[in-house]
Structure 1
Amino acid sequence: MEFRGFVAVKDVTLSVNEGSIHALIGPNGAGKTTVFNLLTKFLTPTRGQIVFKGADITRMKPAEVARLGLVRSFQISAVFPHLTLLDNVRVALQRPSGLATQFWRSSNTLAALDERAMELIDAVNLSSYADLPATELSYGRKRALEIATTLALDPAMLLLDEPMAGMGHEDIGRISDLIRRIARNRTVLMVEHNLNVVADLCDRVTVLARGEILSDGSYDTVSRDPRVREAYMGTEHE
Structure 2
Amino acid sequence: MAEDVILRTEGLSKQFMGFYAVRDVSLSIRRHSIHALIGPNGAGKTTCFNLLTVSTPSTAGRIHYNGRDITRRDPASVAASGMVRSFQISAVFGQMTVLDNVRVALQRRAGGSFAFWRSVRTLDRHTPRARELLAAVNLDRYANELAANLSYGRKRALELATTLALDPEMILLDEPMAGLGHEDIGPITRLIARVAQQRTVLMVEHNMKVVAELCDRITVLQSGEILAEGNYDEISSNARVREAYVGGGAHA
CA distance in 1, matches of 2:91, 2:234: 35
Q: Is the aligned partner of 1:174 residue 2:187?
A: yes
Q: How does 1:101-180 map to 2 (within 5 A)?
A: 105-180=118-193
> Relative contact order: is structure 1 or structure 2 higher (C-alpha 8 Å, sep ≥ 6)?
1
Partner of 2:78: 65
Q: Does the C-alpha gap of structure 1 residues 140 and 102 become closer, same or farther in structure 2, counting only changes over 3 Å?
A: closer
Cα pair 1:72 1:160 within 8 Å, conserved: yes
Q: Specify the alignment match of 1:183 in structure 2.
A: 196
Matched, 1:10 2:23: yes
Q: 1:118 to 1:173 in 2, by over 3 A?
A: same
Q: Judge conservation of contact 2:63–2:71 (CA < 8 Å) in 1.
A: yes
1:83 paired with 2:96, answer yes
The percentage of counterpart residues that share the same residue type is: 65
> How far apart, CA to CA, are the structure 1 residues paired with 2:98 and 2:32?
28
Q: What is the aligned counterpart of 1:225 among 217, 226, 238?
A: 238
- Between 90-99 and 160-169, report the one with greater CA deviation: 90-99
Amino acid across the alignment from 2:23: K
Contact 2:98 2:142 in 1 (8 A): yes
Q: CA deviation at 1:53?
A: 0.5
Give 1:38 deviation, angstroms.
Answer: 0.5
Please name the residue that 2:208 is paired with: 195
Q: Output aligned runs, 1:203-214, within 5 Å.
A: 203-214=216-227
Which 4+ residue blocks in structure 1 deviate beyond 2 angstroms? 101-106, 233-238
Task: Give the TM-score of the pair, scaled to structure 1.
Answer: 0.95
1:78 Cα deviation from its structure 2 partner: 5.1
For the Cα contact (< 8 Å) 1:223–1:233, is it kept in 2?
A: no
Deviation at 1:103, TM superposition (A): 6.8
Partner of 2:5: none
- The Cα RMSD (Å) is 1.9
Q: Distance in 2 between matches of 1:170 and 1:104?
A: 38
1:196 corresponds to which letter in structure 2?
K
Q: 1:22 to 1:233 in 2, by over 3 A?
A: farther
Residues 34 and 217 of structure 2 are in contact (CA less than 8 Å); yes or no, is this contact kept in structure 1?
Answer: yes
- Consecutive unaligned residues in structure 1, runs of 5 or more: none
Q: Please, what TM-score do these two structures have when normalized by structure 2?
A: 0.90
**Cα 1:208–1:138 shift into 2, 3 Å:** same
Shift of 1:141: 0.5
**Structure 2: where are the runs of 5+ without partners?**
1-13
Which structure has greater strand proportion?
2
Aligned-residue offset at 1:41: 1.1
The question of whether the paired residues in 2 share the 8 Å contact of 1:74 and 1:162 is answered with: no
